[in-house]
Amino acid sequence: MVELGVRGKLSRIRELEAEMKRRMREESIRYYGPHASQERFHADPGRIRLVLGGNRSGKSHAGAAEAVAHALGERWWLDPTDEHYKVGCSVPNKGLVIGESFGEQVKKVIVPKLLGDVESASPGLLPKHLVAGSKKNPQGIITHISLTNGSVITCQSYDQDVDLFEGVDMDWVWFDEPPPRAVWVAVQRGLTDRMGDCWLTLTPLKEPWIYDELVSREDVGCFSFDIKDNVGFGLKAEAVEEFTRNLTEDEKEARLRGRFFHLSGLVYKSYGEIHRVRRFEVPQHWGLWMHIDTHPRTPHHAVWVAVNPDGLMYVVGELANHDSNNMIAPFCEAILVYEREVLGRTDVDSVVRLMEPGAKAPNPVDGRSMWDDFADRGIHCMPGSKSRDAGILLMQKCLQYDRETGVYPLIYFFTDLSGVDKEMRHYVWDDWTKKVAQGRTQKQVPRDKDDHFIEGLHRVLLDEPSCELQEFDYSEGFSGDDTGIGY
């Protein structure tokens, strides 16, 4: 009797083991164990979510798991009592998954994650018993998956004509890798009617519009996956080390840490939310510096920096010449109005004004300079420094922040200054693309593009702004050596 009891228990154990293997093979979604970054992504209630992940960081797996959860209406890997178990999307529903191409992304990545891969014997995340059927395109690639609960998943790729995405009527969309902006806009039109969810999982190697238009949006949940997040979750540390050895230092920013590749050569990498503060009324007794960046064709730009008694600096204003002909007279008037109405400065004569040195160059027709034209209209300026490198180093020092060692920034930026913010986030070394292509990482000078406000900030910093009342004799203008080419 004892022997039969033991045999019975062993038989039962084998049955349970077989059932466990079956479930892991046919219902693998139940055994999905997300790492910490993936958990935060799944728990975010936002309608739009953006996952910036390095290679092999688990971003696509998280995207696929979320797609399955939406199709089922539930996140099966969680306990049913968990507040995030239910998905805010009714069932049945229609979902769209989009990859870079049918031959590579859809066939080799997306479909295997959903339905499984026969060659590698890896199971798909969709429960096998709930898959009612699938359809293939003329190339033999699965593009349509139907479930027994009535939900439908459609697969498309970015290499299709944009018109095929127009009017798409979907409840949710998963973009795997960066979509072209035209595809993003077309798909959003179809999601708007149902206020459908969408998420993007990508290694940010291209499509910089995503950084400009999505990362800064308050309604977009943004998550960064580092390749090391996935160690122990299907990835070995040795594999990461081997992959890392094949990358340049700055390629690691995108491929390991999920940072935008077009900004890997960013000059001010430390600039971030810690430096941004909401606008407040600038006290009259604070020092106020401004700089004018002049141009013969592109609009003139002005930027303002206030300094408190403790020496902390605040970038408080920005203004571009909106006159269609870039005339100086209306810009001068706009400067004075801006200082009085936006910055609340009652005594505009107390503002310390700087101008880029090239503004003193005389016009060959009448011998007058832009500096003369500004001065004639009450905007008297001193020459700003031409030492760009010194300005960059000074800005980097002012941005430094390390809470553990008690180091806090010396400069802050009002959050409503979109022009300054964009320039700070896009100021990159000029030779970045070429150097990467050549396998080198040495950098020389910043790119001379969209840096009108930053040039002004450099010159203000180099002028050592303070809160003390300043008195300058602007009548002398610029000295002869201030007009040379340099900055």
The stretches of 342-414 forming alpha helices (DSSP H) are: 370-376, 388-399
The pLDDT of residue 477: 53
Please give the CATH topology (third level) of the domain spanning 276-482. Nucleotidyltransferase; domain 5 (3.30.420)
Question: Does pLDDT of 317 surpass 70?
Answer: yes
72 vs 422: CA distance, rounded Å: 40
Comparing 447 with 39, which gets the higher pLDDT?
39
Mean pLDDT, residues 338-365:
91
Question: Does pLDDT of 481 surpass 60?
Answer: no
Mean pLDDT of the chain: 85
Question: Does pLDDT of 178 surpass 60?
Answer: yes
The pLDDT of residue 426: 81
Please give the CATH topology (third level) of the domain spanning 18-263. Rossmann fold (3.40.50)
56 vs 61: CA distance, rounded Å: 9
The pLDDT of residue 442: 47
pLDDT, tens digit, for every residue of 211-227?
778 887 888 998 888 88
Q: Which two tokens stand for residue 246?
A: 């094949």
Q: How confident is the model at residue 263 (pLDDT cuts 50, 70, 90)?
A: low
What contacts 202, CB < 8 A, 6 or more positions away? Answer: 50, 51, 52, 53, 59, 175, 176, 177, 178, 210
- Ranges of each domain in the chain: 18-263, 276-482
pLDDT, tens digit, for every residue of 413-448?
999 999 999 899 888 776 544 444 444 444 457 766
Comparing 273 with 245, which gets the higher pLDDT?
273
Q: Out of 256-270, 348-362, 471-485, which region has the weakest mean confidence (pLDDT)?
A: 471-485
The number of CA neighbours under 13 Å toward the Cβ of 93 is: 24
Question: Does pLDDT of 277 surpass 70?
Answer: yes
The pLDDT of residue 482: 44
pTM score of the predicted model: 0.59
212 vs 149: CA distance, rounded Å: 39
**Angle of CA points 121, 230, 96, to nearest 5°:** 65
